[in-house]
Chains A and B, each alone.
Chain A
Amino acid sequence: MKEQIREHIGAAFMGGKGAPSDAQPLFTSGIIDSLGFIRLMSFLEKTFEVSIDVSQITIENFDTVERIARVVEASRRT
């Protein structure tokens, strides 16, 4: 799952030139902006068939590949 997320972010938001590391800031660095957030959420919901609780939607939870994967995994379990 983490690799799918990493690959998607690299292709969608980094011009296909590489992909983010596990801990690379995504929103706080400006790699992903507000429209990017919408696209990312759509990708996560459709790809992993999850609904992410609004309480989990924070900058902290979505700023790295590692943390996004953790949120998606937790959403799958609920």
Chain B
Amino acid sequence: MRGHEAEHDELKRAAAAFAARTLNDDVARRDREEDVSLPGWKACAEFGLQGMLVAPEYGGAGMDLRAVVATLEGLGYGCRDRGLVSSLNAHLWGCVQTLNDFGSAGQKVELLPGLVDGRWIGANAMTEPESGSDALALRTRARRTDDGYVLDGRKCFVTNAPAAEVFIVYARTGDGPAFSSLSCFAVRAGTPGLSVAPPASKMGLRTSPMSDVFFSECRVPSSARLGAEGSGAMMLMSTMEWERSLVLAVAVGGMEYQLEQCAEQVARRVAGNHPLRQRQAVTQKLAEMKLRLEAGRGLLYRAVELKRAGKSAFMESMLAKIALSEAGVANARDAMQIHGGYGYMSEAGLERELRDALGSTIHSGATEVLKDAVAMLLLAGSAGLAGRKGGGTA
């Protein structure tokens, strides 16, 4: 995928302009006060972001993946509210796309329109206190009854939970091996037995609400189950593949903007009678930022092309996620350093970008766990070894 076609460039520009014009008001205060921008969310829906992946019959635009990536890059370029973007990503990849892939016709009719038009926010309730990147170790149970299921358990670090209407929930429905014993449900807010804790305070992405979700004798009808019973782990892996492939497409745009700002700073700034542009220790940072950005972009595009072709992209999605998340942190760190004392000031916004970027090396699979999974796949493939058991990393 060599760059975007002209129409995709236009989508990128339009998304960047929309974001810069609409989503950045008061972001510093909202970050300080952990103030979630519902007007921003609605504006994104009006622009069409929540419906990019959804078929027109459910209110969406049914965009091609390359167009989606271009739009997300533009959003990242223009939007300084990374928390809002994080919420949008959780909504798209953890909820909307899961319904796209595994929802029945009835579930799509019931749930997608509200998720597309901005009325509803989606959340993915997967992580638990005892299972993070090792998602298959989850303990939430869904006990079958005559007409549905009863859910019991606790999910943590659920992005969007305090504001969500639709929760995609993974729970254990069987007692066999983890990979064939999980199921997936779409549970509506307000369902008796579902409760949401108050929002948690975070280091970064502070305008994206997050909290724990509790299920206590939470009864759901059979119609709330997505796909076949026992296929939840496969669905979860598919969801994670989408998320890891695309959650940081916005970071590509964000790093482009950040690098431009840094290049301008280095080009114009004179410190102690020495132009920064003549200091190799500084200029080399620009090159390193560019290298990280483009390496991550390449891996993103590779994963996207596989998804476009309907192929699995598990390895590629993990590589893209590792590269872009680590690049985001390193580049944010360099951006702050390049700007010197001013970079450390809250007013510059660079420290907020670093705080926001740090979460990305943890969510959607921590870097260490993903590297372990990549290595295991390489070892198993190169030696033709039998698949190792245990460590059910999704």
**If A33-B179, A45-B312, A51-B311 touch, does A57 touch B387 (CB 8 Å cutoff)?**
no
A11 to B384, Cβ gap below 8 A?
yes
A35 to B377, Cβ gap below 8 A?
yes
* Chain B: minimal CB distance from A53 (Å): 7
A30 to B312, alpha carbons, bound, how many Å? Answer: 22
Query: Given B136, B315, B381, which contacts A34 in the complex, CB threshold below 8 Å?
Result: B136
A55 to B108, alpha carbons, bound, how many Å? Answer: 14
A27 to B386, Cβ gap below 8 A?
no
* Chain B: minimal CB distance from A67 (Å): 13
A35 to B393, Cβ gap below 8 A?
yes
A41 to B310, alpha carbons, bound, how many Å? Answer: 12
A51 to B237, alpha carbons, bound, how many Å? Answer: 16
Query: CB of B392 within 8 A of chain A?
Result: yes
A27 to B312, Cβ gap below 8 A?
no
**If A28-B177, A39-B381 touch, does A57 touch B390 (CB 8 Å cutoff)?**
no
A45 to B384, Cβ gap below 8 A?
no
A59 to B234, Cβ gap below 8 A?
yes
**If A35-B377, A39-B377, A58-B228 touch, does A51 touch B309 (CB 8 Å cutoff)?**
yes
A41 to B385, alpha carbons, bound, how many Å? Answer: 16
Query: CB of A12 within 8 A of chain B?
Result: yes
B377 to A38, Cβ gap below 8 A?
yes
Considering the complex, which residues of chain A in the window 19-78 have a beta carbon less than 8 Å from any beta carbon of chain B? 27-30, 32-39, 41-42, 45, 51-55, 57-60, 62-63
B381 to A27, Cβ gap below 8 A?
no
B228 to A33, Cβ gap below 8 A?
no
A51 to B233, alpha carbons, bound, how many Å? Answer: 20
A41 to B179, Cβ gap below 8 A?
no
Contact with A along B17-40 (1 / 0, CB 8 A): 000000000000000000000000
A57 to B231, alpha carbons, bound, how many Å? Answer: 8
A15 to B394, Cβ gap below 8 A?
no
**If A12-B384, A28-B177, A54-B101 touch, does A35 touch B373 (CB 8 Å cutoff)?**
yes
Enumerate chain B residues within 8 angstroms of A1, measured Cβ to Cβ: none
A55 to B373, alpha carbons, bound, how many Å? Answer: 25
Query: Given B136, B228, B310, B392, which contacts A60 in the complex, CB threshold below 8 Å?
Result: B228
Enumerate chain A residues within 8 angstroms of B389, measured Cβ to Cβ: 30, 33
A16 to B385, alpha carbons, bound, how many Å? Answer: 9
Residue of A nearest to B391 (CB): A35
* Chain B: minimal CB distance from A23 (Å): 15
Query: Given B178, B309, B314, which contacts A38 in the complex, CB threshold below 8 Å?
Result: B314
B393 to A58, Cβ gap below 8 A?
no
Query: CB of B120 within 8 A of chain A?
Result: no
A37 to B234, Cβ gap below 8 A?
yes
Most buried by B among A30, A38, A60, A62: A38
Query: Given A30, A35, A45, which contacts B177 in the complex, CB threshold below 8 Å?
Result: A30
Enumerate chain B residues within 8 angstroms of A35, measured Cβ to Cβ: 373, 376-377, 380, 387-388, 391, 393
* Chain A: minimal CB distance from B313 (Å): 10
Query: CB of B230 within 8 A of chain A?
Result: yes
Contact with A along B352-394 (1 / 0, CB 8 A): 0000000000000000000001001100110011111111111
A37 to B311, alpha carbons, bound, how many Å? Answer: 14
A14 to B389, alpha carbons, bound, how many Å? Answer: 11
* Chain B: minimal CB distance from A51 (Å): 3
Residue of B nearest to A62 (CB): B234
Chain A interfacial positions (CB closer than 8 Å to B): 11-16, 27-30, 32-39, 41-42, 45, 51-55, 57-60, 62-63
Chain B interfacial positions (CB closer than 8 Å to A): 101-102, 136, 176-180, 227-228, 230-231, 233-234, 237-238, 309-312, 314-315, 373, 376-377, 380-381, 384-394
The 6 closest A-B pairs by CB, nearest first: A51-B310, A36-B387, A30-B177, A58-B231, A28-B180, A27-B180
Q: Would you give 19 A-B contacts (Cβ < 8 Å), ordered by A?
A: A12-B380, A27-B180, A28-B177, A29-B177, A30-B179, A33-B178, A33-B387, A34-B178, A34-B393, A35-B376, A35-B377, A35-B388, A38-B237, A38-B377, A42-B314, A54-B102, A55-B101, A59-B231, A59-B234
